[in-house]
Chain A
Amino acid sequence: MLLIPCPYCGERPELEFRCGGEAHIARAADPSAVDDGAWSEFLFSRGNPKGLYAERWNHAHGCQRWFNAIRDTASDRFVESYKMGEKRPLPGGE
């Protein structure tokens, strides 16, 4: 089980959290202006890398807040977590 660093509550066991998938996928500013390819990218395509990955977590059974975290998907180690709206601290993301 992972020990997940909530930026508000500190490290807590994984059972308290829900994973929200890849972070920093922005919805188009003008949705009707983008084509089906861009919609497909937004809805379905994911980085899914073996390595550092920015993802959203919800501390569902704790403070209930959403935040982002960077985790290495090869080792499952968390590198850093940060609040929603803050910039991704490590290079490699959008």
Chain B
Amino acid sequence: MRRFSLRTLIAEAFNAHQGWERQWRNPEPKPAYDVIIVGAGGHGLATAFYLASEHGVTNVAVIEKGWLGGGNTGRNTTIIRSNYLYDESAGLYEHAVKLWEGLSQALNYNVMYSQRGVLMLAHNVHDVQSFKRHVYANRLQGIDNEWLTPEQAKAFCPPLNISRDLRYPVLGGALQRRGGVARHDAVAWGYARAADALGVDIIQNCEVTGFRRNASGAVEAVETSRGTIKAKRVGVVAAGHTSVILARAGLRMPLESFPLQALVSEPVKPVFPCVVMSNAVHAYISQSDKGELVIGAGTDQYVSYSQQGGLHVPMHALDAICELFPQFSRMRMLRSWGGIVDVTPDRSPIIGKTAVPGLFVNCGWGTGGFKATPGSGHVFAHTLATGEPHPLNAPFTLDRFRTGRLIDEAAAAAVTH
């Protein structure tokens, strides 16, 4: 794979950029692999990359029913932060943020990680108490997170309306300065290109439809729309479709799949310097480098695979945006879309073994897994390569729903994260 560098860029500039090769191959599936990963989203591709680069496991296929990065990876609002409450989550997400910080170099691909700061607004006494608790917990965990008064929040984000006569006035906010956004597509493409260069086969337009198991019950192959492919280990990383796939191995998961929506405005000049999240009034906003306002809305209340969602959900988010940032009240929205997110009862992911030997799962990232992409892939690669969890994902078992040892970020954050 030809590396991107200033030298190759200049050389190609004199060549009308005709010399660039395809970024990844389009291989036919082989009859057998050491590891098959189901789902070529960011998490699946990152898993393949770290399997090859850190564990020397290169006989790997990533099987994708559509096109790579076309799931939630390509549909999300790309907010990245690690200021979670519990040590388990903070450890996992901080692992990811550290990897984000060096990712463009590691992949030789610009993922445009921009640490412009993520500000979470508090609108009621409960928010204030809970965010301060997060700030103190994060301080003990060595993770940056600081409390801002309304005036400090306004200084950090000038478009913010801190007037006391809002329906839900801003009472302050928690700011993680190392948080920010990244270019979602570039994350999928960068991992795909780097994994492909190490020998990983990325097989698109190939749907996994079932599993073949041997006499002892262990998984030995996956059935796909392009035939049966053997594998010693299989990792399912299919976000909203995890329940559907694992049902074909006879598993019933603690997951519900909901549409989550986002929308973007027409592009405008730089007007918004950071990321602002408001869980209480339910709105997320940042500005992309193209100039569009990128706005996250909520989930629908019912299970659905329609990848659509009701219009009243983004309208509700826009109500909140107009109240918090009155200058945007006349902005035109260009398009909205939905992704199907897999939500666990405690809002923490599941990364590890299933009841079927050889079948592993990495799911349950719900509304907030983009930020974890590098860390998730890194620890899941360890799990698939060794058969045992990495210390950072050891608490995130499927079995915690039986033992009761939940990692209850749902109670900690109350809503989307």
Contact = CB atoms under 8 A, between A and B. Distances in A.
Given A1-B312, A36-B402, A46 B256 contact: yes
Interface residues of B, number: 25
A44 B244 contact: no
A47 B303 CA distance: 10
A41 interface: yes
Given A45-B254, A55-B302, A1 B402 contact: no
B34 to A, nearest CB: 30
B255 interface: yes
B247 to A, nearest CB: 7
A11 interface: no
B403 interface: yes
Contacts of B252: 41, 45-47
B302 to A, nearest CB: 4
A53 B310 contact: no
A32 interface: no
Interface in B308-337: 308, 310-312
A19 interface: yes
A48 B243 contact: yes
Contacts of B15: none
B401 A44 contact: yes
Contacts of A76: 304, 306, 308
Contacts of A14: 310, 312
A73 B244 CA distance: 12
B9 interface: no
Contacts of B305: 50, 73-74
B82 interface: no
B253 interface: yes
Contacts of B255: 46, 48
A1 B311 contact: yes
A46 B214 CA distance: 27
B330 to A, nearest CB: 25
Interface in A25-66: 36-37, 39-41, 43-50, 53, 55
Contacts of A18: 301
Contacts of A45: 252-254, 401
A18 to B, nearest CB: 7
A73 B403 contact: no
A48 B256 contact: yes
A21 B256 contact: yes
A1 B404 CA distance: 36
A90 interface: no
Interface residues of A, number: 27
A37 B404 CA distance: 10
A73 B312 contact: no
B257 interface: yes
Given A14-B310, A55-B302, A75-B306, A37 B402 contact: yes
B130 to A, nearest CB: 24
A50 B256 CA distance: 11
B303 A48 contact: yes
Contacts of A47: 243, 252
B154 to A, nearest CB: 34
A15 interface: yes
B247 A49 contact: yes
Contacts of A43: 345, 401
A50 B244 contact: yes
A73 B303 contact: yes
B241 interface: yes
B305 to A, nearest CB: 5
A49 B244 contact: yes
A2 interface: yes
A76 B300 CA distance: 12
B302 A50 contact: no
Nearest to A18: B301
B310 A2 contact: yes
B303 A55 contact: yes
A49 B345 CA distance: 17
Contacts of A53: 303
Nearest to A76: B306
Interface of B: 241, 243-244, 247, 252-257, 301-306, 308, 310-312, 345, 401-404
Interface of A: 1-2, 14-15, 18-19, 21, 36-37, 39-41, 43-50, 53, 55, 71, 73-76
14 contacts: A1-B312, A19-B301, A19-B302, A36-B403, A43-B345, A43-B401, A46-B253, A48-B255, A50-B241, A50-B244, A55-B302, A73-B302, A74-B305, A74-B306
The list of the 7 closest CB pairs from A to B, nearest first, reads A44-B254, A48-B243, A40-B402, A19-B302, A1-B310, A19-B301, A45-B252
